[in-house]
Amino acid sequence: MERVMRDGGAIAPEYPLCFDERFSGRVIATEENGQVLSACATLVRDFVCGGRSLRVGLIGSVCTAPEARGRGLASAILLRAEEKLASEGCVLAMLWADDARFYEERGWRPMGAEVDFALEPAHEGRLAGTAGIRAAAPDDRGAIHRLYTLQRERVERSAAETSALLEAPGMEILVLQRERDLVAYSCLGRGKDFAHTVHEWSGSDRDVLALVREHMHRARLRGESGPTFVITPPTALGLHDRLRGIGANWSEGVLAMGKLLAPEGAAALLAELAGPQASISVDSDSAQGAPTVTLSGPRGALELSPEDLLGLLVPPRGRRHALDETARATGLDLSALPLPLFAWGLDSI
Ligand SMILES: CC(C)(COP(=O)(O)OP(=O)(O)OC[C@H]1O[C@@H](n2cnc3c(N)ncnc32)[C@H](O)[C@@H]1OP(=O)(O)O)[C@@H](O)C(=O)NCCC(=O)NCCS
């Protein structure tokens, strides 16, 4: 992995949950003559999402040694990772792809939503500052973890996991302290990922924006002249209003690429969210190979492929088109969808 993805440099400090034995992530590898030729990392995470828990398998650092490419090794590793995560109870798998086409050809689809803002240096003066902001110190980690757990959308992360993640290289972590308490924090950058990007934060809207202002101020002092990006969950409506109010550019992005691993579990979740009028049946031996789910409501029934199911539960960019079509065809109320699934920057692998 280091040879392919970091020119021989270290990768483990960036992803402690995958590569530090204290934590639950695993590496899957294919070897020939004692040489690792292809590998990826996996991590099982329980997402807290709309008040429920959803088990998701993360896959990262998929790579094949240059001399062994084009032999199907990464395709096989990906299948092994999917099977392993399914056997560990994951309803779906997620990954952040450099080469989306490779994954699309293997059944992966863009899924979920985030709202991304780009703040130009001129926006700094339009954000309100506040006293009490400083760089995080090692003994702030417990308080930062508590602030993380206040987020409605997040993953179940232990204090030890947060602490290890905060040690990742190349990250600027700021905290806002009032009296004795930390009331907000924010993280910019992470190893080779999230350059100039605030990717994880918690606190009141006003306090988080004061932290963003300080990140921008520090970037200016470093001589950087480009924009600062802020990644937010679609549910952070108050923060969105404030950022639009100062004229920041924004766009709706996809959260990740995803693949359904357990159609039965996903179908049960869809039935629950579609209300008492919904009934659902799963045909595991359908002619197409993949199980087919039939969703029925007062107006009619629809056959759904695993991809359709993923697109209803966590549609790309949160777009409701497929949900509205399904609601029309079945007569079901699908207003409880999509699921507000969101991963913060330190949760990605
Ligand atoms: C992307 C990467 C992981 C692919 O690894 P790989 O082992 O060459 O992948 P595969 O051999 O499974 O597939 C590559 C091609 O070989 C072909 N292939 C040849 N024999 C094959 C076989 N027996 N089975 C499947 N595919 C085969 C495939 O058609 C495929 O082409 P396609 O992408 O047009 O479908 C590798 O190029 C890499 O490490 N890149 C750099 C790191 C990177 O970008 N990783 C992704 C980060 S998320």
Of 125-129, 177-181, 288-292, the range with the lowest mean pLDDT is: 288-292
The alpha carbon of 72 and the centre of ligand 1 are apart by a number of angstroms equal to: 6
Distance CA 303, CA 105 (A): 22
Tell the residue nearest (CA) to atom 2 of ligand 1: 63
Ligand 1: lining residues by beta carbon, under 6 Å? 4-5, 38, 62-64, 69-75, 97-99, 102, 105
For 153-197, where are the alpha helices, taking DSSP H only?
A: 159-166
Q: Which of 64, 67, 105, 348 to mutate to test the pocket of ligand 1 (most atoms within 8 A of CB)?
A: 64
The alpha carbon of 98 and the centre of ligand 1 are apart by a number of angstroms equal to: 13
> pLDDT tens, 75-123?
999 999 999 999 999 999 999 998 899 999 999 999 999 999 999 999 9
Domain ranges in the chain?
Answer: 2-107, 115-255, 262-330
Distance CA 125, CA 242 (A): 14
**CATH number belonging to domain 115-255:** 3.40.630.30
Tell the residue nearest (CA) to atom 20 of ligand 1: 71
The alpha carbon of 63 and the centre of ligand 1 are apart by a number of angstroms equal to: 8
- Output Rg (C-alpha) for the chain, integer angstroms: 21
Q: How sure is the predictor about 291, in pLDDT bands with cuts at 50, 70 and 90?
A: confident
Distance CA 28, CA 20 (A): 15
> What's the mean pLDDT when you consider all of the chain?
96
Strand partners, 94: 58, 258
Return the pLDDT at 284.
Answer: 82
The alpha carbon of 150 and the centre of ligand 1 are apart by a number of angstroms equal to: 40
Asked if residue 279 lies in contact with residue 296, where contact means CB atoms within 8 angstroms, the answer is yes
Distances 3 to 30, 39, 43, 68, 258 between C-alpha atoms, Å: 15, 12, 21, 13, 26
Tell the residue nearest (CA) to atom 48 of ligand 1: 97
Token reading at 105? 């050809």
Distance CA 199, CA 238 (A): 17
The alpha carbon of 1 and the centre of ligand 1 are apart by a number of angstroms equal to: 15
Strand partners, 45: 56
Q: How sure is the predictor about 54, in pLDDT bands with cuts at 50, 70 and 90?
A: very high
Return the pLDDT at 325.
Answer: 97
The dihedral over CA atoms of 99, 89, 233, 14, expressed in degrees to the nearest 10, equals: -60
Q: Which of 40, 69, 193 to mutate to test the pocket of ligand 1 (most atoms within 8 A of CB)?
A: 69
Q: How sure is the predictor about 288, in pLDDT bands with cuts at 50, 70 and 90?
A: low
Token reading at 214? 């300080």
Fold: same for 2-107 and 115-255: yes
Residue bearing tokens 């985030």: 114
> pLDDT tens, 248-286?
999 999 999 999 999 999 999 999 999 999 999 998 876
The alpha carbon of 143 and the centre of ligand 1 are apart by a number of angstroms equal to: 43
Whole-model pTM? 0.95
Strand partners, 116: 231, 251
**CATH number belonging to domain 2-107:** 3.40.630.30
Return the pLDDT at 174.
Answer: 98
The alpha carbon of 100 and the centre of ligand 1 are apart by a number of angstroms equal to: 12
